[in-house]
Amino acid sequence: MRIGIIGAGNMGAALGKLWAKAGHQVIFSYSRDEAKLSQLAASAGVTAKAGTLQEAAQSDVILLAVWLPVLAEVMQAAGSLEGKVIITCVSGLQPDFTGQTIGLATDLTLSVAETIQQLAPHAKVVEAFNTTFAEIIASDSRQFGADIPSVFYCGDDLEAKEKVAGLIADCGYAAVDAGSLQVARTLETLATAWVQFAVASQQFPNLGLKALRR
């Protein structure tokens, strides 16, 4: 699968490396440091490369991992995203982990994921990876002893969700379908609470969230 990473920060870099290791063709893009971007692609292996934002946007699956204030600008620069599967882990949290998600989008009632769907109405948007930490993704293993943490995901397109579930599994997580894209309103709020709890309890980033099943 061809995967374009738009936003080569901690989350984008860590996920892209895991997907490249799993054999996917990965294009890293959108970094303030072009030399660092090239080094990242080289470290990810032979199936990865650095490219432009527009090149990454032509992939089968696109990961959006950018700061919220530049989201609209990035999506406009990406060009047509018709038919593309877009995974978003875009957060409304500030660098000091304060802030929230709901109320920061263009429509105060919408989640960031729903706003992305409005900006790219013919794309297939799936929210995922916002309940885990980049440091865990970048570690040698996602496991906590015998436990495998969960990644919740939501979206309206079943085929897109199946692809994303597979990519979640490729990263060593248990994929949990949380429902339609509207659920991103509560999923993004859960992610905000989870991050802030981890910081307040001084356990960040060494925590994993797991859904237990009977």
- Banded pLDDT at 98 (limits 50, 70, 90): low
- Banded pLDDT at 44 (limits 50, 70, 90): very high
Q: What is the pLDDT of residue 99?
A: 59
Over residues 136-149, the mean pLDDT reads 95
For residue 191, give the nearest of 113, 100, 124 by alpha carbon. Answer: 100
| Domain residue ranges of the chain, discontinuous segments joined by + | 2-200
Whole-number CA gyration radius for the chain: 16
pLDDT higher for 78 or 96? 78
Q: What is the pLDDT of residue 26?
A: 98
Burial of 199 (0-12, 13-18, 19+ CB in 10 A): middle
Fold adopted by 2-200:
Rossmann fold (3.40.50)
| CA–CA dist 112, 127 (Å, integer) | 9
For residue 193, give the nearest of 102, 71, 68 by alpha carbon. Answer: 102
pTM exceeds 0.85, yes or no: yes
User: Which region, left, alpha or beta, applies to residue 85 given φ > 0 means left and ψ of -120 to 50 means alpha?
Assistant: beta
Over residues 154-164, the mean pLDDT reads 98
Contact between 203 and 191 under an 8 Å Cβ cutoff? The reply is no
pLDDT tens digit string along 51-84? 999 999 999 999 999 998 899 999 999 999 999 9
Res 105 pLDDT > 80: no
